[in-house]
A and B are shown apart, each in its own frame.
Chain A
Amino acid sequence: EAGVAQSPRYKIIEKRQSVAFWCNPISGHATLYWYQQILGQGPKLLIQFQNNGVVDDSQLPKDRFSAERLKGVDSTLKIQPAKLEDSAVYLCASSLGRGGQETQYFGPGTRLLVL
């Protein structure tokens, strides 16, 4: 079974530029998550989708971050404009259902460096 795919794996941009990340979840998984992992910290949830609807985006900085999951499968996360403090690893995860007992499967992440 193929895992969660993410691209690109690495990205270097200058502050105020824009960047987009892509995620393809495990086939059949209805729930998709984007996490931000700053160096030395645990991942923090940015946004959660159930199919193509948003379940939780309470910690997404909506003035600069946006995400979509148009057909309930792939998802993109965008940052515009980027700030230095956005340097982090962006992790995508998916799960079969929604709920606190579900196992989330993580992709390899996209490492972003903002200069």
Chain B
Amino acid sequence: AQSVTQLDSHVSVSEGTPVLLRCNYSSSYSPSLFWYVQHPNKGLQLLLKYTSAATLVKGINGFEAEFKKSETSFHLTKPSAHMSDAAEYFCVVSDPEGTGKLIFGQGTTLQVKP
């Protein structure tokens, strides 16, 4: 069975400071991993995905994530937060050989203070 745990339900940073959103996964095989962002009253948007190529994955809007198999982690980072980054972020796992079913974490709310 697969699962994801987002270690922080709420993260608050100041504009211009680094962002770190933590995610650990559990999977019996090498998974596909995704980060999605959800702005209020908008649909989920893919930030980036890992599918067993490079372990450091670059996404949109300056976000990146590193797949660490030994730590079963896929943390999301950004060097400098912008006000527009305030949103809900979801870490997601999927079986790359499966049907495409996504297993979502509980979400992390990112607050960006001016």
- Interface residues of chain A, those whose CB is within 8 Å of chain B, are 3-4, 31, 33, 40-45, 48, 55-56, 91, 93, 95, 98-109
Contact = CB atoms under 8 A, between A and B. Distances in A.
B9 to A, nearest CB: 9
B43 A109 contact: yes
Interface in B31-51: 31-32, 36, 41-46, 49, 51
Contacts of A109: 43
A100 B32 contact: yes
User: Shortest 4 CB-CB distances between A and B: which pairs?
Assistant: A42-B104, A100-B94, A106-B44, A100-B96
B100 interface: yes
A43 B44 contact: yes
Contacts of B44: 43, 91, 93, 106
Interface of B: 31-32, 36, 41-46, 49, 51, 90, 92, 94-102, 104-107
Contacts of B105: 42
Contacts, number: 71
Name A's interface SS: loop
Contacts of A91: 43-44
A91 B44 CA distance: 9
A109 B105 CA distance: 18
Residue among B36, B44, B98, B100 with the most chain A CB within 10 A?
Answer: B100
A35 to B, nearest CB: 8
A42 B99 CA distance: 19
A55 B51 CA distance: 22
Contacts of B106: 40-42
A77 B102 CA distance: 19
A100 B43 contact: no
A99 B43 contact: no
A55 B99 contact: yes
